[in-house]
Amino acid sequence: MRMRVATLTASALVLLTSSVMPASAQIRADVVIGQNGERIFLDPRTGEVLTVQPPSEVRRLPPEPQFEPFQREEDIRDIIRAERQAERQRQQELRAAMQRERERTAERLREQRAALPEQVPVIPDPQMGTTLPDAVASTDDANTATGAVQSPGSISEPALQAPKSTKPSLAPGKMTVAKAQILLDRVGASPGVIDGVKGQNVLYAMDSWRRLTGELVDFTDESAIEKALQARGGDAFVDYTITSEDVSGPYVAAIPSDYGEKAAMPAMRYTSAREAIAERFHMDEDFLESLNPDADFGRQGEVIRVASTGTPKSGKVTRIVADKSREQVVAYDSSGRLVASYPSTIGSADTPSPSGTVKVERIAINPNYTYNPEKNFKQGDNDEILTIPPGPNGPVGTVWIALSKPSYGIHGTPEPSKIGKTSSHGCVRLTNWDAKELAKMVSPGTTVEFKE
């Protein structure tokens, strides 16, 4: 028998136990390995073969795992491709849902108009783009930068009041959408302004609703919406009595578009009680007026209907995702749980927003705005640095959340009805109330990821 002798050291000597020989006959033995892997135990004094252990009884270690880095990279690529495909599918489904809703709305309008008597003129639905008539013109002094304060004593006597408005009441479908918007707002799935229009902002907010609550609600069924509202705070609309503070402001006659003229004003205040009340209750101005067609918003004691949006969200946000394709800002806590979502305007083709990940550096409430044409954009003929005073109608609204990339931030807006519908100068724009809510939940160091 051909054998190779194992190198014998003190550690190579084994003590045969009862598994090989009886305990009473324990001796020391040399070990050699046969050509087939068997272990042969020899008497070290005589060279006599004591026993042979077959190869099958020899414990063998499992082979070392063979890592395949290229295969793992390919797996990661597959995961990324699958995620992108899922996102494309979701976008397609949302676009299809929006198209179906537009078609249903158009069909309802055709049915409503067909049911009207021929002698009654058809009034265009504001939802289809018709602008409602403006309110009675302001009596503010146009030559005064801050405008004249309308005090309770300046209210006209009843005999001098303007005739009652003949504006159309809201269509039933628009009220259903408005109730859905209020329900979404209450749970932190902000739809932006409450205006009764079911557009992209509302559809994305509905998606956030499912992620926040885990519930499915038919947002086309008013009874289902009413049931969900009662479970989360009660009726969608409540009565509100206009106060002396609402009437007195102070307000300004108008906000100029030119930045040089803005910088000369003492503050970027609201222009009317109607604008201030609409923003306080997260409502579009025209929608507020349509809901209260005969109301005098400059009269102390006037009772109007407003949206009941509930209390602002609270918690600690540690991560923000600014999704450029959805025009939505999504906030998460440290466990990765969705806290809130907001419709947004994120950059433009001319002034794109940042890419990658940045951090929150500081938070300012009711900030000034510094216009620097060399660092940012050029507005009109203004080629010098200007400081525009604070206020809700300033370029950045009432909140500035500065980011670690210079000159960029998350901020409010003087035009809440345009969120998600127009471009910005590279920053992330929210409604003033959404920006204020988010500002209270973030802190310096919170990450902000820009997602294409």
Stronger pLDDT, 237 or 138, i.e. the higher one: 237
Question: What is residue 72's predicted lDDT score, i.e. its pLDDT?
Answer: 59
Stronger pLDDT, 144 or 279, i.e. the higher one: 279
Stronger pLDDT, 168 or 303, i.e. the higher one: 303
Stronger pLDDT, 292 or 90, i.e. the higher one: 292
Question: What is residue 60's predicted lDDT score, i.e. its pLDDT?
Answer: 57
Condensed to tens digits (0 to 9), the pLDDT of residues 8-65 reads 333 333 344 334 444 444 567 778 787 777 888 788 877 788 788 877 655 555 555 5
Stronger pLDDT, 317 or 34, i.e. the higher one: 317
**Per-residue pLDDT for 208 more than 60?**
yes
Strand partners, 193: none
CA nearest to 439, candidates 403, 409, 400: 400
Stronger pLDDT, 16 or 249, i.e. the higher one: 249
Which segment of 244-258, 372-386, 436-450 scores lowest on mean pLDDT? 372-386
Query: How crowded is residue 281: how many other Cβ atoms within 10 Å of its Cβ?
Result: 19
Query: How crowded is residue 429: how many other Cβ atoms within 10 Å of its Cβ?
Result: 31
Confirm whether 427 is a catalytic residue.
Answer: yes
Contact 98, 203 (CB under 8 A): yes
CA 394, 395, 398, 404 torsion-angle sign? negative
Contact 388, 266 (CB under 8 A): no
Contact 411, 435 (CB under 8 A): yes
Helix H or strand E segment including 99: helix 69-115
Domains of the chain (ranges, CATH numbers): 3-57 (no CATH), 319-451 (2.40.440.10)
Long-range contacts of 56-65 (CB under 8 A, 24+ apart): none
Alpha-carbon span 430 to 438, nearest angstrom:
10
**CB-based burial label for 450 (10 Å; 0-12, 13-18, 19+):** buried
Residue found under tokens 């060399």: 374
**Per-residue pLDDT for 335 more than 90?**
yes
**Per-residue pLDDT for 377 more than 60?**
yes
Residue found under tokens 């579009």: 284
Mean pLDDT of 371-376: 81
Query: Collapsing DSSP states into helix, strand and coil, what is residue 405?
Result: coil
Which segment of 48-57, 257-266, 381-390 scores lowest on mean pLDDT? 48-57
Stronger pLDDT, 424 or 223, i.e. the higher one: 223
Long-range contacts of 3-12 (CB under 8 A, 24+ apart): 3/32, 3/33, 3/34, 3/35, 3/40, 4/32, 4/33, 4/35, 5/32, 6/30, 6/31, 6/32, 6/33
- State both tokens at 420: 């998600």
Mean pLDDT of 349-378: 85
Helix H or strand E segment including 69: helix 69-115
Question: What is residue 131's predicted lDDT score, i.e. its pLDDT?
Answer: 32
Question: What is residue 80's predicted lDDT score, i.e. its pLDDT?
Answer: 75
Question: What is residue 69's predicted lDDT score, i.e. its pLDDT?
Answer: 54
Question: What is residue 17's predicted lDDT score, i.e. its pLDDT?
Answer: 38
Among candidate residues 269, 313, 326, 411, the one labeled active-site is 411
Alpha-carbon span 290 to 440, nearest angstrom:
32
Alpha-carbon span 24 to 337, nearest angstrom:
68
Stronger pLDDT, 10 or 260, i.e. the higher one: 260
What are φ and ψ of residue 282, in 5° steps?
Answer: 60, 30
Which residues 6+ apart lie within 8 Å of 251 measured at CB? 140, 146, 147, 149, 150, 269, 270, 271, 272, 273, 276
Mean pLDDT of 298-306: 97
Condensed to tens digits (0 to 9), the pLDDT of residues 74-126 reads 666 777 777 778 777 777 777 777 777 767 666 666 665 565 544 433 333 33
Question: What is residue 87's predicted lDDT score, i.e. its pLDDT?
Answer: 72
Question: What is residue 13's predicted lDDT score, i.e. its pLDDT?
Answer: 39
Question: What is residue 381's predicted lDDT score, i.e. its pLDDT?
Answer: 82
Helix H or strand E segment including 110: helix 69-115
Question: What is residue 375's predicted lDDT score, i.e. its pLDDT?
Answer: 78
- Alpha helix (H) residue ranges in 353-450: 432-439
**Per-residue pLDDT for 425 more than 60?**
no
Which segment of 62-71, 95-104, 239-248, 337-346 scores lowest on mean pLDDT? 62-71
Query: Collapsing DSSP states into helix, strand and coil, what is residue 430?
Result: coil
Task: Tell me the pLDDT band of 230, cut-offs 50, 70 and 90.
Answer: very high
Query: What is the CA 295 to chain-centroid distance, rounded?
Result: 34
Among candidate residues 135, 203, 403, 427, the one labeled active-site is 427
pTM of the model: 0.64
**Per-residue pLDDT for 154 more than 70?**
no
Stronger pLDDT, 1 or 63, i.e. the higher one: 63
Task: Tell me the pLDDT band of 145, cut-offs 50, 70 and 90.
Answer: very low
